[in-house]
């Protein structure tokens, strides 16, 4: 017999076996969340519901208009959206106009990446709204380490508490 003991943000994540020991629930994606929505300027809104994400649009943005994901295949974009805490930015007509995602274990670490606002709508505060929502997200905001990499938008992220890496000599990377 199984009894859910998941916490407030991870319901269904854990169960107690009849011998009293706790195990991870045998599901492929362990994080079961209820989607949330935040309202911003000019009736734009952000949702963390991955099923709302317009994958074709996000794929086009990232694979053809970003400097870090040039040529990223569609299925890679789809998996990254599914298996991250992905936030979509939408207009009042529900058309997607931006995206970002946290790669996170929901416990100790989160990496903010693929931050993108439709070029036609930049410069009117939507990127700020998106990053503000992402950094205030209840499942990530208090994690001990939150990181990101950016070529030129440091000032945007600085407003939300990001600073240059304190000890860059400790960091390494492995690229493929
Ligand atoms: C970065 C991005 C998400 C910002 O979206 P946006 O809707 O234009 O953001 P805002 O209108 O809220 O502007 C936020 C502030 O950041 C600044 N800013 C935005 N993009 C910047 C950039 N690439 N370099 C330097 N500053 C930037 C803006 O000038 C603005 O400053 P201000 O408030 O003093 O005027 C958007 O420009 C984008 O999608 N860029 C291409 C993808 C990208 O570079 N993503 C970030 C990767 S880490």
**Whole-structure pTM over 0.85, yes or no?**
yes
Catalogue the long-range contacts made by 69-78 (C-beta closer than 8 Å, 24 or more residues apart): 69/114
Beta strands in 13-84 (DSSP E): 14-16, 22-24, 37-39, 45-47
**Which pLDDT does position 9 carry in this prediction?**
39
The rounded Å distance from CA 26 to ligand 1 centre is 41
Residue 118, class by beta-carbon neighbours within 10 Å (0-12 exposed, 13-18 middle, 19+ buried)?
Answer: middle
Q: What is the 159 CA–ligand 1 centroid distance (Å)?
A: 12
Q: Ligand 1, residues 103, 117, 130: which to mutate, most atoms within 8 A of Cβ?
A: 117
Predicted local distance difference test score (pLDDT) of residue 30 = 47
Residue 141 region, left (φ>0) first, then alpha (ψ -120 to 50), else beta? alpha
174 C-alpha vs ligand 1 centroid, how far in Å? 28
Please list the rounded mean pLDDT of every run of 10 residues in the chain (176 residues).
Answer: 41 70 62 84 96 94 98 94 95 97 96 98 98 97 98 98 97 95
Q: Residue 159's pLDDT is what?
A: 98
Instruction: Give the residue whose CA is nearest to atom 5 of ligand 1.
Output: 127
> What are phi and psi for residue 34, nearest 5 degrees?
-95, 135
Question: What separation in Å is there between the alpha carbon of 114 and the centre of ligand 1?
Answer: 13
Q: For the residues of 87-106, what is the DSSP string, one character each?
A: EEEE-TT--EEEEEEEEE-S
78, 55 contact by CB (below 8 A): yes
Which uninterrupted H or E stretch holds 66? none
Which part of the chain is CATH 3.40.630.30? 35-170
Q: Which residues is 89 bridged to in the sheet?
A: 46, 98
Pocket lining for ligand 1, CB < 6 angstroms: 66, 115-117, 122-128, 150, 152-153, 155-156
Domain 35-170 fold is Aminopeptidase (3.40.630)
């Amino acid at each position: 017999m199984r009894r859910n003991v998941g916490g407030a943000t991870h319901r269904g994540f854990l169960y107690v076996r009849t011998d009293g020991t706790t195990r991870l629930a045998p599901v492929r994606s362990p994080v079961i969340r209820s989607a949330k929505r935040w309202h911003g300027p000019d009736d734009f809104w952000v949702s963390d519901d991955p099923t709302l994400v317009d994958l074709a649009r996000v794929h086009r943005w990232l694979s053809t208009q970003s400097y870090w994901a040039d040529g990223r295949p569609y299925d890679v974009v789809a998996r990254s959206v599914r298996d991250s805490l992905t936030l979509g930015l939408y207009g009042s007509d529900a058309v997607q106009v931006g995206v970002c995602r946290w790669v996170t274990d929901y416990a100790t670490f989160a990496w903010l990446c693929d931050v993108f606002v439709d070029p036609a709508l930049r410069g009117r505060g939507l990127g700020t709204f998106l990053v503000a929502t992402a950094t205030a997200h209840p499942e990530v905001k208090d994690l001990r380490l939150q990181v990101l990499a950016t070529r030129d938008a440091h000032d945007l992220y600085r407003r939300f508490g990001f600073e240059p890496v304190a000890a860059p000599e400790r960091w390494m990377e492995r690229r493929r």
